[in-house]
Chain A
Amino acid sequence: MDVALSPEDWSVIGLSLKVSLVAVAAMLPVAFALAWALARWRFPGKLLLDALVHLPLVVPPVVTGWLLLLLFGINGPVGAWLDRSFGITLLFRWTGAALAAAIMAMPLMVRAIRLSIETIDIRLEQAAETLGASRARTFFTISLPLALPGILAGMMLGFARSLGEFGATITFVSDVPGETRTLPIAIYAALQVPGAEDSVTRFAILSILLSLGALLLSEMLARRVGRKRVAHGL
């Protein structure tokens, strides 16, 4: 088997990393806001919001992809508006693949971040307030650093999930080589071609290595944060 990677292989890897990184970065503030609201606030419809956040975990990914197509397609309400107002098209673009990956990663990210927010000792936030800290300063110097391990874990989980995303992506943005052909889609495409077993094997090994790397990195980060803490308050 030929183990050397072709330029085309490298483009698949690069695209996969780009799509996953952008998906996690874009979803992070949204996931944090959702996690904070679910952990800290009481409001009508909270159960429903919780269920909606978890929906991508349980609905068939092809359904999520189809919903994205309805919303963000050329004639979809959001897609048409994005195109008209900003000239942004997501359909058949890598940005669309990142959107699909972000939606699929959302439940895992929100869960991990929410858990870490729930473990923050509120009494420490109260102590900061009696010491004269504003709500914002308390948030940035106490709450956020204490939630950091969970935030990092959520990002790594989301990244690993994004790397493996297939169903919603291929439904929403299809298979466009160089644009939306991420690792799982490249594997699927290679499986359709007789005699491309070597490609399948190479991509499969790469997928496993990348995912393993992300999980190991997340574990190392979590331990590092657990041991070495922020040395100075802001």
Chain B
Amino acid sequence: MSAESGSRMAFEISLRRDLGGRAIALECRAEARLIALIGPSGVGKTSILNMVAGLLRPDHGRIVVDGRLLFDSAAGVDLPPAQRHAGYLFQDRRLFPHMRVEANLRYGRRPGGTLEMDGVIALLGIGHLLHRWPDTLSGGEAQRVALGRVLLSAPHFLLMDEPLSGLDRSRRDEILPLIETLRDQIRLPILYVTHDHREAERLADLIVEMPEA
């Protein structure tokens, strides 16, 4: 608890959910700014992110991120996704296909973010993509735009679902330093899902292994 350590916990997560007879559970309380959730595919890593984002309801449990209560089954607290301020970087990007890159970036803009439009565009190097349609972007470009859209929504924390999967080596080498920049300079708590141990060791302050179901 924060009282014990003297500083605020980044993540206090305790949840459980049965999905088709399979139990997905996580107990995790850490000060770490970047927690890597690691485990083979199918153990429910994405479901954990969905529960923290409010897209999937845990059967029971409690979620506190950076001191803010998002979900508590015992107390009947369940903030809707729009009020959780999660910056969720989906594995499948989910750019809106009917909006150009610029409209995608602006979609979630909320006042109070530490990052401004120009800063994010410069940081991610996506200035030349603003007038393109999402379906014309490469995987790496789409990932950077998706990250930009997330950062501009003034997130309180980030959820990253295998952000490097599906990218070739050179694209990975572009995205990886960006994530380190976010971790070290913008200092948002990050819950990071991966199945790659090397990636987890390079990025994470804490690695949580999800056991085989």
Contact = CB atoms under 8 A, between A and B. Distances in A.
Q: Is the interface of A mostly helix, strand, loop or mixed?
A: helix
Contacts of B110: 132
Interface string A113-149: 0000000000110111111111000000110011000
**What is the size category of the interface that chain B forms with chain A?**
20 to 34
B98 A230 contact: yes
A126 B87 CA distance: 12
A133 B103 contact: no
A129 B90 contact: no
A145 B108 contact: no
B98 A229 contact: yes
Most buried by B among A126, A131, A233: A131
A232 interface: yes
Interface in A93-128: 123-124, 126-128
B144 interface: no
Contacts of B107: 128, 131, 133, 141, 233
B149 A131 contact: yes
B53 A229 contact: no
A93 B149 CA distance: 55
Most buried by A among B96, B106, B108, B110: B96
Given A127-B88, A132-B110, A231 B81 contact: no
A123 B100 CA distance: 18
Interface in B101-129: 102-104, 106-108, 110
B93 to A, nearest CB: 9
Given A130-B53, A146-B98, A233 B90 contact: no
Contacts, number: 71
A145 B96 CA distance: 10
Nearest to B150: A131
B92 A131 contact: no
Most buried by B among A123, A132, A134, A145: A132
Interface in A190-234: 229-233
A145 B149 CA distance: 20
Contacts of A232: 99-100, 102-103
A78 B109 CA distance: 49
B84 A130 contact: yes
Given A127-B94, A129-B80, A132-B108, A231 B53 contact: no
Nearest to B152: A131
B198 to A, nearest CB: 29
Given A129-B81, A129-B82, A134-B82, A233 B106 contact: yes
Nearest to B50: A126
A146 B95 CA distance: 13
A124 B80 contact: no
A229 B136 CA distance: 13
Given A134-B82, A145-B98, A127 B153 contact: no
B55 interface: yes
Contact of B96 (A129, A132, A134, A233): A233
A145 B106 CA distance: 17
B99 A231 contact: yes
B97 A126 contact: no
B81 A142 contact: no
A27 B103 CA distance: 32
Contacts of B53: 130
Given A129-B54, A129-B82, A232-B99, 7 more contacts: A127-B96, A128-B96, A129-B80, A130-B81, A131-B107, A141-B107, A232-B100
29 contacts: A123-B94, A124-B97, A126-B55, A126-B94, A127-B96, A129-B55, A129-B80, A130-B53, A130-B86, A130-B88, A131-B108, A131-B149, A131-B150, A132-B82, A132-B108, A132-B110, A132-B153, A142-B96, A145-B98, A146-B97, A146-B98, A229-B98, A229-B133, A230-B98, A230-B103, A232-B100, A232-B102, A232-B103, A233-B107
